[in-house]
Structure 1
Amino acid sequence: MQLTPRIGGRPASADLWTDVLSPYDGSAVARVPALSATHVAEAVAAAAATLARADFPRQRRAEVLEAAAVLLTERTEEFAVTIARESGTPIRYARAETTRAAKATRAAAVECRRMFSDAIDDTAGVGFVLHRPIGVVAALTPSHGPLEFVARQVAPAIAAGCPLVLKPAEATPVSAIRFVDLLVEAGLPADWISVVTGRGADAGHALVAHPVPALIAFAGGAEVGREIRERAPDARVLIDPDMKAALILEPDAELDRVIEALKKGAFRATGRVLVHRSVYDRSVERLCEAICELQVGDPLDAATMVGPLISPADADAVEEEIAAARRNGAEVTGGKRRGPSLLAPAVIEGPPGDVRGPVVTATPYADLDEAVALAGSGTAAGIFTSGLATAVRAARELRFDTVLINDVPCAPPDRRPTGVREMTAEKNVMVMP
């Protein structure tokens, strides 16, 4: 199936096309154009022209976002299948991702209506905050979460009134193209978003280096985020960070509940599992037994809990990290290669680490102070405990954006849409008596 993105509201044309392949079995998902720096320049120029028209008012933007959220909810299964096919995300999690994308889109609509009503209360007079779009936005999204991260970048830009150029990951552009098509169906002007598909070294680098975008919204790892800041020193850079999570297991936790939660979520996002020494042996033994029950394989099978990595190269890299842990004396359970991009889940007993793929490290700790230190920092953490005081203390001391009590972090946490206010320039306007 040939899938053509829009640039400036018109179908993009290219001499070269690339196949989007399923990471599970290598079957063709779609063909998309391999676009170049020339296409990026065309897309940015179209976005700048759209911004200059200033003909897409705030009320209408909110209505479009709300309509898109409704359409996305109605088409959850259709989008979930697309996510599963192009990224290898098991269908059960792909459905949840689609729901979160719809929620992010709806939240951006709410923020769009709310943010422009800021008032200034001053004894000398009355005033308000005038918001205007910061300018053209460049958005770059990763191969994991191919719909959710796109929605989290695109919806806030629409709410803020910023036309944008979207560069989805080379391996997973289909969800992005279809989401933009859905937005146009919901009433978004067709030239408001241009999608440039292709290699990061071609379209991605050209987009980051282009002088026109006032803001670059990037979802992914901190290292790439630093590179973007170096390549675009004059642009504002917003980073929606990769999921980095940890879990603390206190001795008073209900172990059966912990194991069930770990089976459902730990091998998707929770890299560090920290277990109190008094219950470490028994807990890790149960966890190692539990991973044998997880079905690994076809992401479209409703029973699958662990799907493939995005490519054989990624599976090779994770396999090497597991082998390195073994060479360093760590006890490793699981991690067997099941296919070109498939790895069985693994538990590495040793120092806490952030191994990619379906891998967790299990580390003992002596007290909560040590657990908090070993957890590090990141996007989400969880703690299992029956003690309210312990839970509250952990919530205060853990250096994570979100802390879950008696649950496992397994998806990006819900929060205010990243970038809506950041994508506007504010000006205080005072009216004197």
Structure 2
Amino acid sequence: MPLKDSYPLYLANEALSPNQDLEVTDKYTGKVATRVAMASPALIDQAIAAAVEATGPMARMAAYERQAVLAHCVTRFSERQDELAEALCIEAGKPIRDSRGEVTRLIDTFRIAAEESVRMTGEVQPLDISARARGYQGMWKRVPIGPCSFISPFNFPLNLAAHKIAPAIAVGCPFVMKPASRTPLGALIIGEVLSETDLPKGAFSILPATRDGADLFTTDERLKLLSFTGSPEVGWGLKAKAGKKKVVLELGGNAAVIVDADTDIDDAVERIVFGAFYQSGQSCIGVQRIIVHEAVYDAFKRALVKKTKALVMGDPRQEETFIGPMIDVGEARRLEGWIEDAAAAGATLLCGGKRDGAMLEATLLEDVPRGLKLREEEAFGPVAILSRFSDFKAALAEVNDSRFGLQAGVFSRDIHKAMAAWDELEVGGVLINDVPSYRVDNMPYGGVKDSGLGREGVRFAMEDMTEIRNLVIRRAAI
């Protein structure tokens, strides 16, 4: 179905259209597709005040009531799958098959949260560890941390918003959210569905805003947690300004995958092409560095280049399209420059490299020298680089030779190497016989080093959004 002419923001559970100031473009055509209301600093302040007022009512919601809200979302998202996928395809330029996949993950994330909302357990703890504690009994439970601030990115505008919103509802935390200005529609449709529920007034606000005007999302002391997904430079800057609140950061990466000598080449190529070029490489866990054993390097390279050249680039609405536009022309031009710099420094361009507007071909290079942005920084686009290794320990060291540490992949049939990778790789997650780009929405997900702080994945986000409250009882003799 077509997009609406305009979309409201959500202030304290209610749709509000103070303006239509934000133009949302079709990322393939570049034309304005719809308009969205923008929140002023005054509106953001009102939303935070409303969240504070909703703190008590949200905390007092029974588990089955929170579960009912989340179950309603699952039902409504399932009914509106085609609409959600179409909006995502337009606002993000994401190929329609990938858009449908993200809608499926949105539904999964809310379903997992509905299940976990009634599993907020604590623990009975013996305290009589010495004579002075004889007769004492302890127990603890988790309680909501309070009003939360969420800032979500453009590349998964549905599911990465869901990974903040759904756990907050599951534990009973009110929240304010700033969706990415380039892709606000997914979060606003989530808001529309939430507005159909009986959440206490002020439980949620979803407020598109300029970066300059959204400072309160970070600095306001009434907010008890900031969860940000986006670039490392912005994320660490927000942490420095966040004050006393808890901060969770899901940031960037330049994920690596090792292909060992015993690997099924066809299988590895199939997965690595997906991992490198899915949604035009605009994923923080997209495959960027491919480290291949010298014994299979040439065969692997031939197969990978052939498969990459066969990818269909074009209109994301077409079923056969695999490579759609990057988020804007500026990002495509930036990455084109990185490719040119690498080639000028001696790297070999194996395929791709051409740009037309926001469209950048799926690109592979080999022998990219150290120190270049394409090797050291996050490409966040349809580019991957190849290198070779002879010693597995050296390959592990090459993966770790990065300021990032989000996820890594290892293709190997050797269980000892798999376990060594799990022990040695400085990342938040290791995937064996698959690409680092793979994520299931109930697993702990997050990184180390410049890739962030904390973990998402519904149950793990719920832990961040709660605090432990202890109870100690001194028992009298009877």
Q: Structure 1 length as normaliser, TM-score?
A: 0.93
Which residue is equivalent to 1:188?
Answer: 199
Cα distance, 1:70–1:411 mapped onto 2, change above 3 Å: farther
**Paired position in structure 1 for 2:177:** 166
Equivalent in the alignment of 1:107: 112
Q: Aligned-pair distance for 1:91?
A: 1.8
* 2:408–2:431 CA contact under 8 A, matched in 1: yes
Q: Does 1:232 align with 2:255?
A: no
Q: Tell me which moved more, 288-297 or 8-17.
A: 8-17
Residue 217 (structure 2) aligns with: 207
From 437, 459, 465, the counterpart of 1:423: 465
Identify the residue that residue 23 of structure 2 maps to in structure 1: 19
1:332 CA drift (Å) = 1.5
Give runs of aligned pairs for residues 405-424 of structure 1, distance below 5 A: 405-414=432-441, 415=443, 416-417=457-458, 418-424=460-466
Q: Deviations over 1:197-223 (max 9, x none)?
A: 1321222x2321222111101112332
Say whether the 8 Å CA contact 1:273–1:361 is kept in structure 2: yes
Partner of 1:287: 304
1:84 aligns with 2:89: yes
- Report the TM-score, using the length of structure 2 for normalisation: 0.85
Q: Which region of structure 1 is more displaced relative to structure 2, 398-407 or 140-149?
A: 398-407
More divergent stretch after superposition (384-393 vs 248-257): 384-393
2: distance between equivalents of 1:283 and 1:258? 9
Code of the aligned partner of 1:143 = F
What does residue range 260-299 of structure 1 map to in structure 2 within 5 Å?
A: 260-267=270-277, 268=281, 269-299=286-316
2:39 maps to what in 1? Answer: 35
Structure 2 unmatched runs, 5+: 129-134, 369-374, 444-456
Amino acid at match of 1:98: V
Once the 2 structures are TM-superposed, how far is the Cα of residue 62 of structure 1 from its aligned partner?
2.1
Q: Is the 8 A contact 2:53 2:202 kept in 1?
A: no
Query: What one-letter code is carried by the residue in structure 2 that aligns with 1:115?
Result: M
With over 3 angstroms needed to count, the CA separation of the structure-2 counterparts of 1:324 and 1:413, relative to structure 1, is farther
1:189: how far off?
4.1
Whole-Å separation in 1 of the counterparts to 2:237 and 2:265: 43
Query: Residues 119 and 298 (structure 1 numbering): CA distance in 2 closer, same or farther, change over 3 Å?
Result: farther
Mean Cα deviation higher: 216-225 or 407-416: 407-416
Deviations 1:30-84 (A, max 9, x none): 2111222111111111111111445533331122123323432443332222211
State the secondary structure of the residue aligned to 1:132: strand
Matches of 1:68 and 1:128, distance apart in 2? 34
Name the structure 2 match of 1:217: 227
SS across alignment from 1:403: strand
Q: 1:117 Cα deviation (Å)?
A: 4.1
Give the distance between the partners of 2:137 and 2:108, measured in 1 at CA: 35
Please state whether the residue corresponding to 1:419 is helix, strand or coil. Answer: helix
1:375 aligned partner, one-letter code = V
CA–CA distance in 1 between the matches of 2:424 and 2:83? 41
Per-residue CA deviation, residues 361-387 of structure 1 (Å, 9 max, x unaligned), is: 111112111111111252222222233
| Aligned twin of 2:142 | 131
Task: Please name the residue that 1:255 is paired with.
Answer: 265
In structure 2, the partner of 1:67 is 72
Contact 1:244 1:271 (8 Å CA) reproduced: yes
2:81 and 2:310 map into 1 onto residues whose CA distance is: 28
The CA distance in 2 between the partners of 1:85 and 1:363, in whole Å, is 36
Q: Which residue of 2 aligns with 1:340?
A: 357
Q: Is 1:360–2:418 an aligned residue pair?
A: no
- Once the two structures are TM-superposed, the CA of residue 186 in structure 1 deviates from its matched residue by 4.8
Q: What amino acid is the match of 2:290? A: V
Give deviations 1:111-165, integer Å, cap 9, x for gaps: 3222234333444354432332212111000111101110001111112211110
Given that residues 402 and 413 in structure 1 are in contact (C-alpha distance below 8 angstroms), is that contact kept between their aligned partners in structure 2?
Answer: no
> Which stretches of structure 1, 4 residues or longer, exceed 4 Å deviation after superposition?
none
2:330 & 2:438 partners in 1: Cα distance?
Answer: 24
2:335 maps to 318
- Tell me how far apart the structure 1 counterparts of residues 331 and 11 of structure 2 sit (CA, whole Å): 31
Query: What is the Cα deviation at residue 259 of structure 1?
Result: 1.6
CA contact (8 A) 1:129 1:426 kept: yes
Once the two structures are superposed, the pairs formed by residues 50-61 of structure 1 within 5 Å of their partners are 50-54=54-58, 55-61=60-66
Aligned residue for 2:360, secondary structure, equals coil
Tell me, in whole angstroms, the C-alpha distance in 1 between the residues paired with 2:428 and 2:185.
Answer: 30
Which deviates the most, 391-400 or 191-200?
391-400
Which runs of 5 or more residues in structure 1 are unaligned? Answer: none
Work out whether 1:245 is the aligned partner of 2:287: no
Indicate the residue corresponding to 2:451 in structure 1: none
The offset of 1:178, in angstroms, is 0.4
- The sequence identity of aligned pairs, in percent, is 30
Deviates further, 30-39 or 241-250:
241-250
> Cα distance, 1:256 vs. partner?
1.4
Q: Secondary structure at the match of 1:194?
A: strand
Aligned counterparts of 2:253 and 2:330: Cα–Cα separation in 1: 21
User: CA–CA distance in 2 between the matches of 1:208 and 1:179?
Assistant: 22
- Superposed CA deviations along residues 317-363 of structure 1, whole A, max 9, x for unmatched, are 11111111112111113344453211011112124443220111111
Moved more, 326-335 or 411-420: 411-420
* Contact preservation (8 Å) 1:170, 1:197: yes
Supply the distance in 2 between the matched residues of 1:189 and 1:53 (Cα, whole angstroms): 6
Paired letter, 1:392: M
